[in-house]
């Protein structure tokens, strides 16, 4: 904290202080929670190392508390800085070899990088790479980041020259742009063209909303994008917190986007939930003060995350209402076939230049002089479906099953479907391709093909889709897999998947998506044990969201159902989670009672990881009650099982708790030893994950 403030000492006395020396700015700058700020700052204030005052802050409307070093603080921080510069590290030299030396040996080559940033880098890398660090932190625009792999790749694009120019001008001036139009009118095609043209000059991010997406899921994707450009504040907060209020989120995102030339595209915004809409109000406020950032929202209907003043007075939001193509572009898109029949005027009048409709008409080989053009779904059923051969019909039905883009291989339901079938459908523009090679069917085309599924096809295709998607690593695709199981009628399999993967989904930040999925289950289609699984998962989510009373009720319900189905392992696990909540709210006797019952419930599994976690829970309660000998006894039982199972994550947790126990008893050497073991074990877990991702 002292070394961090030293970097801002020169501007600390300005009329408008930098936001970096406010409580929020300092917390984000050194990577701590704002709630922990005062416990670190109070000793510095008491020792006269730091002084607190009220000041105007750049970009703010009200005075806020800011912090700067006193004369004594400057001397102390300078001494700390000099000690840090003498620390020996490993680093890559200019020839790419690993060298050893002092931090001061490499700091000159890094330019204007703060020691706090350097310390943060050293905490995650055994060997420092100065060149990469400098490029990521100081030269983010030298190599723009491309996060648009999910954007579509239109096979044909005609016209829209005026719209393209206007959209590009608005993006380059740093605006929030709302591109609105009916389904299939070409919003996505236009935006994807613009996105592709901007990749060399600025970082691009593309996100397409689906019905399961939550605010936290979107923030997780944004954090990955920001990490790629060297900004980690959002990522740190997501890993540390389960929720974030709008004010704090605005501060975190504002800091991360500062100085980055980027454009964010959000497709199908009409599917966004209310929490996500609030997030866009935050993004709008950032674009108002950051002209390097542009936000493009594609939607079928205007969603109010802004007001008319933003549009008509402040001109911070630009609305573009996309209409059909003009006659010249429509003729180019539809091709010569329609012109041969002399019916272009009728086609144009009926479609009003609707690009998707025109593209479909172009692919009908023998369109007559009286095509039925009033409704696109009827046109697909009567003019297009009838022209497809049996294999093409089957592949279109399979492709229409998927809610999200998938790999081409997931379209080949059986041996009758091959690559030739796929290429013919792609040529007809019935199947679209994304930048990363995945495929999807436009929603307007999906609807009529889904309506043609027979009951037998519906069951078979949805089960097949689920089986394939469960092999995918993408969490959203695994959530979709459960959806397919429910549509097929196999609710029991869906519940089993949530039993196996639900905790990982929640841990990965997909609580809201999972909660949405739980609502699709029909209780009448579930057995007692499946009901217990769903109640447990709902309890897990409610606890993570901070709804303690509701979480307790659901976990109690789950425990009762597990007992009724004679599933001792499930009963013990639900009990452990109940006890953990009681421990967290200070009801230690209640927690101990439930932990003990849970240990008895699992019986024969007394050497399982579930037993280990219960032992750890009992040890933690004993420590809180001051019964340190008993605490060590139970924690060592937890540790023994964790070691036998090779579960390093659990081992690190136990070492940490043992460190706490020995610290409380005054055995500081042993406490330090266990804390070091905890840190080393966590680092090994990190190394294993790094190797996994490299593979």
Specify if 516 maps to a domain: no
pLDDT at position 140: 46
Instruction: Please tell me the distance from the alpha carbon of residue 42 to that of residue 24, in angstroms, as a whole number.
Output: 15
Q: Which residue has the higher pLDDT, 604 or 37?
A: 37
Among 229-243, 309-323, 449-463, the minimum mean pLDDT is found in 229-243
Say whether pLDDT at 254 is over 90: no
Q: For position 436, which CATH number holds? A: 1.10.10
Say whether pLDDT at 504 is over 60: yes
Say whether pLDDT at 337 is over 60: no
Specify if 469 maps to a domain: no
Cα of 379 vs its chain's centroid, Å: 38
Specify if 486 maps to a domain: no
pLDDT at position 142: 47
Say whether pLDDT at 689 is over 60: no
Q: Can you list the pairs that 159-166 forms with residues at least 24 positions away whose Cβ atoms lie under 8 Å? A: 159/325, 159/326, 159/328, 159/329, 159/330, 159/332, 159/333, 160/186, 160/190, 160/193, 160/325, 160/329, 163/190, 163/320, 163/322, 164/190, 164/193, 164/194, 166/320
Residues 32 and 22 in one domain: yes
Residues 113 and 241 in one domain: no
Say whether pLDDT at 453 is over 80: yes
Residue 18: which residues within 8 A CB-CB, separation 6 or more? Answer: 8, 11, 12, 25, 57, 58
Residues 234 and 341 in one domain: no
Specify if 491 maps to a domain: no
Q: Helix, strand or coil for residue 678? A: helix
Q: How confident is the model at residue 530 (pLDDT cuts 50, 70, 90)?
A: very high
Among 112-116, 429-433, 575-579, the minimum mean pLDDT is found in 112-116
pLDDT at position 695: 44
Residue that is written with structure tokens 């999910």 in the block? 150
Say whether pLDDT at 374 is over 60: no
Q: Helix, strand or coil for residue 90? A: strand
Say whether pLDDT at 290 is over 90: no
Q: How confident is the model at residue 126 (pLDDT cuts 50, 70, 90)?
A: low
Say whether pLDDT at 367 is over 60: no
Q: How confident is the model at residue 372 (pLDDT cuts 50, 70, 90)?
A: very low
Domain that includes residue 69, residue range: 2-134
Token pair belonging to 294: 């542009």
Residues 252 and 295 in one domain: yes
Q: Which residue has the higher pLDDT, 71 or 351?
A: 71
Q: State mean pLDDT over 229-238.
A: 81
Residues 97 and 184 in one domain: no
pLDDT at position 241: 66
pLDDT at position 275: 81
Say whether pLDDT at 370 is over 60: no
Nearest partner of 662 among 694, 686, 616, 631, judged by Cα: 631
Q: State mean pLDDT over 399-418.
A: 92
Helix or strand (DSSP H, E) at 648: helix 648-664
Total domains, the chain:
5
Q: State mean pLDDT over 239-252.
A: 73
pLDDT at position 589: 94
Q: For position 666, which CATH number holds? A: 1.25.40.10
End-of-domain residue from the set 272, 291, 321: 321
Specify if 263 maps to a domain: yes
pTM: 0.65
Specify if 276 maps to a domain: yes
> DSSP string spanning 437-460?
S-EE--HHHHHHHHHT--HHHHHH
Helix or strand (DSSP H, E) at 631: helix 628-645
Q: How many other C-beta atoms lie within 10 A of the C-beta of residue 365?
A: 8
Q: Which residue has the higher pLDDT, 94 or 121?
A: 121
pLDDT at position 141: 45
Among 166-175, 377-386, 501-510, 623-632, the minimum mean pLDDT is found in 377-386
> DSSP string spanning 566-601?
T-HHHHHHHHHHHHHHHHHTT-HHHHHHHHHHHHHH
Q: Which residue has the higher pLDDT, 365 or 526?
A: 526
Q: How confident is the model at residue 427 (pLDDT cuts 50, 70, 90)?
A: confident
Q: How confident is the model at residue 601 (pLDDT cuts 50, 70, 90)?
A: confident
Residues 163 and 259 in one domain: yes
Q: For position 200, which CATH number holds? A: 3.40.50.300
pLDDT at position 593: 94
Residues linked to residue 98 through DSSP beta bridges, in sequence order: 92
Helix-strand-coil percent breakdown of the chain, rounded to 5?
Answer: 60, 10, 30
Q: Which residue has the higher pLDDT, 324 or 367?
A: 324
pLDDT at position 133: 65
Instruction: Please tell me the distance from the alpha carbon of residue 50 to that of residue 26, in angstroms, as a whole number.
Output: 13
Average pLDDT, the chain: 83
End-of-domain residue from the set 271, 304, 321: 321
pLDDT at position 39: 80
pLDDT digits (tens, 9 = 90+) for 169-187: 999 888 899 998 887 788 8
Q: For position 80, which CATH number holds? A: 1.10.10.10
Q: State mean pLDDT over 92-107.
A: 72
Residues 420 and 376 in one domain: no
End-of-domain residue from the set 134, 157, 173: 134
What is the dihedral sign for C-alpha 425, 426, 427, 428? Answer: positive
Of the chain, the percentage scoring pLDDT greater than 90 comes to 30
pLDDT digits (tens, 9 = 90+) for 617-669: 999 999 999 999 999 999 999 999 999 888 888 999 999 999 999 998 899 99
pLDDT at position 474: 84
Residues 284 and 336 in one domain: no
Residues 113 and 23 in one domain: yes
Instruction: Please tell me the distance from the alpha carbon of residue 58 to that of residue 464, in angstroms, as a whole number.
Output: 57
pLDDT at position 364: 63
Instruction: Please tell me the distance from the alpha carbon of residue 251 to that of residue 56, in angstroms, as a whole number.
Output: 16
Specify if 507 maps to a domain: no
pLDDT at position 392: 92
Q: How many other C-beta atoms lie within 10 A of the C-beta of residue 418?
A: 11
Say whether pLDDT at 369 is over 50: no
Residues 88 and 195 in one domain: no
Residues 392 and 378 in one domain: no
Specify if 234 maps to a domain: yes
Residues 54 and 194 in one domain: no
Say whether pLDDT at 59 is over 70: no
């Amino acid at each position: 904290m002292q070394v961090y403030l030293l970097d801002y000492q020169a501007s600390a006395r300005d009329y408008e202080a930098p936001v970096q020396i406010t409580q929020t700015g300092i917390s984000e700058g050194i990577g701590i929670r704002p709630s922990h700020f005062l416990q670190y700052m109070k000793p510095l204030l008491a020792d006269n190392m730091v002084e607190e005052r009220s000041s105007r802050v750049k970009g703010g409307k009200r005075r806020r508390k800011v912090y700067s070093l006193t004369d004594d603080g400057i001397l102390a921080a300078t001494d700390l800085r000099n000690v840090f510069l003498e620390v020996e590290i490993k680093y890559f030299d200019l020839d790419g070899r690993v060298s050893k030396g002092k931090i001061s040996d490499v700091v000159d080559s890094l330019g204007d990088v703060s020691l706090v940033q350097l310390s943060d880098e050293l905490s995650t890398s055994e060997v420092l790479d100065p060149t990469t660090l400098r490029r990521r932190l100081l030269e983010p625009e030298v190599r723009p980041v491309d996060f648009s792999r999910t954007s579509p790749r239109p096979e044909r694009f005609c016209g829209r020259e005026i719209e393209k120019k206007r959209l590009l001008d608005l993006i380059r001036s740093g605006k929030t742009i709302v591109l609105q139009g009916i389904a299939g009118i070409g919003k996505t095609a236009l935006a994807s063209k613009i996105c592709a043209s901007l990749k060399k000059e600025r970082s691009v991010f593309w996100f397409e909303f689906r019905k399961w997406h939550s605010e936290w899921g979107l923030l997780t994707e944004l954090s990955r994008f920001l990490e790629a450009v060297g900004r980690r504040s959002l990522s740190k907060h997501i890993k540390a917190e389960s929720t974030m209020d709008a004010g704090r989120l605005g501060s975190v995102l504002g800091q991360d986007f500062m100085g980055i030339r980027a454009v964010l595209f959000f497709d199908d915004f009409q599917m966004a939930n209310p929490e996500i809409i609030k997030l866009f109000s935050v993004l709008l406020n950032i674009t108002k003060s950051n002209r390097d950032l542009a936000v493009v929202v594609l939607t079928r209907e205007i969603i109010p995350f802004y007001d008319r003043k933003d549009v008509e007075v402040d001109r911070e939001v630009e609305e573009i209402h996309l209409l059909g193509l003009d006659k010249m572009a429509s003729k180019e898109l539809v091709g010569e076939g329609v012109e041969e029949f002399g019916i272009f005027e009728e086609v144009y009048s009926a479609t009003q230049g609707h690009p998707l409709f025109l593209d479909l008409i172009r692919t009908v080989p023998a369109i007559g002089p009286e095509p039925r053009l009033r409704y696109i779904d009827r046109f697909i059923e009567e003019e297009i479906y009838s022209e497809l051969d049996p294999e093409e019909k089957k592949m279109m039905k399979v492709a229409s099953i998927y809610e999200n883009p998938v790999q081409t291989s997931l379209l080949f339901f059986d041996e009758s479907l091959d690559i030739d079938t796929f290429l013919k459908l792609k040529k007809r523009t019935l199947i679209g391709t994304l930048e990363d090679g995945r495929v999807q069917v436009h929603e307007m085309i999906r609807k009529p093909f889904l309506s043609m599924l027979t009951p037998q096809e519906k069951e078979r295709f949805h089960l097949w889709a689920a089986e394939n998607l469960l092999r995918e690593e993408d969490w959203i695709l695994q959530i979709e897999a459960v959806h397919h199981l429910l549509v097929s009628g196999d609710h029991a399999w869906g519940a089993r998947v949530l039993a196996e993967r639900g905790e990982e989904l929640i841990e990965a930040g997909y609580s809201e998506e999972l909660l949405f999925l739980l609502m699709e289950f029909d209780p009448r289609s579930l057995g007692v044990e499946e009901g217990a699984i769903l109640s447990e998962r709902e309890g897990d989510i409610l606890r993570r969201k901070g709804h303690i009373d509701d979480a307790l009720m659901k976990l109690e319900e789950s425990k009762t159902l597990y007992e009724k189905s004679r599933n001792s392992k499930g009963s013990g696990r639900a009990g452990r989670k109940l006890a953990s909540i009681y421990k967290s709210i200070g009801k230690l006797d209640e927690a101990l009672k439930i932990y003990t019952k849970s240990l008895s419930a699992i019986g024969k599994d007394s050497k399982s990881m579930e037993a280990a976690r219960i032992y750890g829970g009992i040890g933690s309660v004993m420590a809180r009650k001051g019964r340190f000998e008993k605490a060590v006894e139970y924690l060592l039982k937890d540790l023994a099982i964790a070691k036998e199972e090779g579960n390093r994550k659990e081992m690190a947790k136990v070492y940490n708790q043992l460190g706490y126990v020995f610290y409380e008893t005054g055995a500081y050497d042993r406490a330090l030893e266990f804390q070091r073991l905890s840190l080393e074990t966590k680092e090994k877990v990190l190394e294993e994950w790094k190797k996994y991702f490299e593979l």
